[in-house]
Amino acid sequence: MTHGAVLDIAVDLRRSSPTFGKHIGVELDGESGRMLWIPAGFGHGLLVLSDVAGFAYKVTDYYSPTGERTILWNDADLAIPWPVAADQVVVSEKDQRGTAFREAQVFA
């Protein structure tokens, strides 16, 4: 984080994992210097908690739009406890078209 605060969420998409379908959420902000490492095979999403936020991250490969998948942010099967009411969330068009977790492409 360069400034502001976010709730950073990672979801295990590895079907063979004992934590498949489970998530972890960590609050990151520009002052604490906390970071979150998300291994391959996880979905990643975030909620901006401050008025604005600068978020920087590193990845292991080049971005490939054809490889991108989107799971619905508020999927009931994931039961992520977002700290805001659904009607107060601004969701991008891409994220609004997300797939239900039950139908999502996952890893072996």
Which CATH number fits the domain that encloses residue 15?
2.60.120.10
User: Is 46 in a helix, a strand, or coil?
Assistant: strand
Q: What rounded mean pLDDT belongs to the chain?
A: 94
Residue 12 lies in a domain: yes
Count structural domains, the chain: 1
What secondary structure letter does DSSP report for 61? S
Residue 108 lies in a domain: no
- Reported pTM: 0.91
Check whether 29 has a pLDDT greater than 90: yes
Q: What is the pLDDT of residues 76-107, one digit of tens each?
A: 999 999 999 989 999 999 999 999 999 999 99
* CA atoms of 99 and 63, how far apart (whole Å): 20
**pLDDT on residue 1:** 74
**pLDDT on residue 108:** 86
Domain that holds residue 75: 5-103
Residue 57 lies in a domain: yes
Q: What is the pLDDT of residues 40-58, one digit of tens each?
A: 999 999 999 999 999 888 9
